[in-house]
Amino acid sequence: MSWKFILYDWGGLNVALFQAINTGTPTAIAPLAWFFSFVGSYWTAPAMLLGFWWWSKSATDPARARAVRLRLAGFGTAFLLALLGATVLKLWLDFPRPPAVLGELVRVIGEAERHYSLPSGHATYSTLVVGALWPLVGRGGRTGLVLYAALVGWSRLAAGMHFPADVLAGWSLGLSCTVLAGWLIPAAAPVWRTARYTSTWVWYAVAASAVMADQLAKSVISRTYAYGDQVEVTPFFNLVHVLNPGAAFSFLAGAGGWQRPFLIALGLVASAWLMRILWQQPPRLEALGYSLILGGALGNVADRVLRGAVVDFLDFHWRHTHWPAFNLADVAITLGVTLLIKKGLTQGKVVDAKAIENYNHYQ
């Protein structure tokens, strides 16, 4: 008797519960299953982040605004942790989905999937939403949140996408990531508040960490998958193994070969310039942005020097339309640029406010 039979199959109860819910769901409420699968999808994460941001800006009570900003940070951190955890578990375990186990006995709503059943990403995400909103709502709102998570889990069974054990594992993963994020943010807050006065070497360490994470991920992909392999993780996300001779997001990938020495030289010059900026100790938000860009640039330069091309492995798609595959170095660069844009916009608002104040003072 294996551990899987006890912990996952539940002695056959896992399949029996699935069949009871899947076949017992009336056809008339199939659109309801589709709806809760949609609102429990990772695709709604941008709307959640924008909603938290708008809520924090529109709150008139400063304490309430701070609480919403804290939940925004917690949700974003927990989301990244959950996405990483779910990806690792799906690829490591590779449990078959209901259509692969039961075949034609499963009623599928949508496109049938056959691999990477545990954990349910929808159940994981719904728990992240519940955990983010729970401290901000009253008793009635919390009841609605529990009902939302339960209906998302039910929808995955009714749609023939997951077994009950997958849903339970998703709820557990989402809760664990929410708790971990709630611990990490307060622990990191004192470091962040004093980061402006910390040695420049701290920001160099951030850049080095980005390089190491990027190179580790690329090494794992290169050793695990053959060139050209594509592994479906979620309905919108694949792990792939492709080589990009161009710049970020496949820019200049079709050039004739001259781009390699050019991009290596450009990356090294840009890295030296970024290191010089960090040595001048800019404000912490700028320093974080510059350090992430530095780490991303060096990560891709290392690929061009060692491999001749950049390893890309993150493939997001929607309805057969694929965004160019990218890697963690590209993610670091994008995050760094976003932080610099945010800093510029915030600084512009401060300058405008001071100009208005000075104008009014002299009238």
Helix, strand, coil shares, percent, the chain, to 5: 75, 5, 20
Contact between 250 and 324 (Cβ < 8 Å)? yes
Contacts of 187 (CB under 8 A, 6+ apart): none
DSSP label of 106: S
DSSP characters over 148-187? HHHHHHHHHHHTTS--HHHHHHHHHHHHHHHHHHHHHHHH
Closest C-alpha to 130, from 140, 145, 112, 143: 145
For 227, phi and psi rounded to 5 degrees?
A: -60, 130
Contact between 151 and 30 (Cβ < 8 Å)? no
Closest C-alpha to 274, from 297, 290, 287: 290
Helices (H) and strands (E) in the chain, counts: 13, 4
For residue 284 the two structure tokens come to 């912490």
Contact between 190 and 98 (Cβ < 8 Å)? no
In angstroms, the CA 105 to CA 97 distance is 13
Query: Annotated catalytic sites, by residue?
Result: 312, 330
DSSP label of 194: T
∠ CA 144-147-149 to the nearest 5 degrees? Answer: 110
Local structure of 247: helix, strand or coil: coil
Closest C-alpha to 122, from 82, 88, 93, 92: 82
